């Protein structure tokens, strides 16, 4: 997803299912969007930790998170 430079908004939603933090963190890590993203919504994420890209300064274009 990080090659999708024209993506402005991304909604990631988890439903009931696997709550293994390692698996969920790996999935979210692989869904890393391009730094031009302006809006990011993560709903129902069952993991305990988030990948490093969520706090990366490259995502300074976010106007709504």
Q: Tell me: the pLDDT tens digits for 39-60?
A: 888 888 887 888 888 877 777 7
Is the confidence at residue 37, as pLDDT, over 80? yes
Q: Which residues of 26-40 are buried (b: 16+ CB within 10 A; e: fewer)?
A: eebeeebbbeebeeb
Note the pLDDT of residue 22.
74
> What does the domain layout of the chain look like in residue ranges?
9-59
Check residue 64 and give its pLDDT: 64
C-beta separation of 40 from 13 below 8 A: no
CA-based radius of gyration for the chain: 12
Phi, psi (rounded to 5 degrees) for 62: -65, 125
Give me the chain's average pLDDT, please.
Answer: 81
Question: Could you tell me the pLDDT band of residue 62, with boundaries at 50, 70 and 90?
Answer: confident
């Amino acid at each position: 997803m990080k090659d999708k430079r024209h993506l402005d908004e991304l909604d990631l939603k988890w439903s009931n299912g696997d709550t293994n933090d390692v698996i969920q963190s790996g999935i979210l890590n692989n869904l890393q969007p391009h730094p031009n993203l302006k809006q990011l919504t993560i709903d129902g994420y069952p993991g305990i930790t988030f990948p490093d890209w969520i706090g990366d300064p490259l995502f300074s274009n976010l106007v709504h998170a």
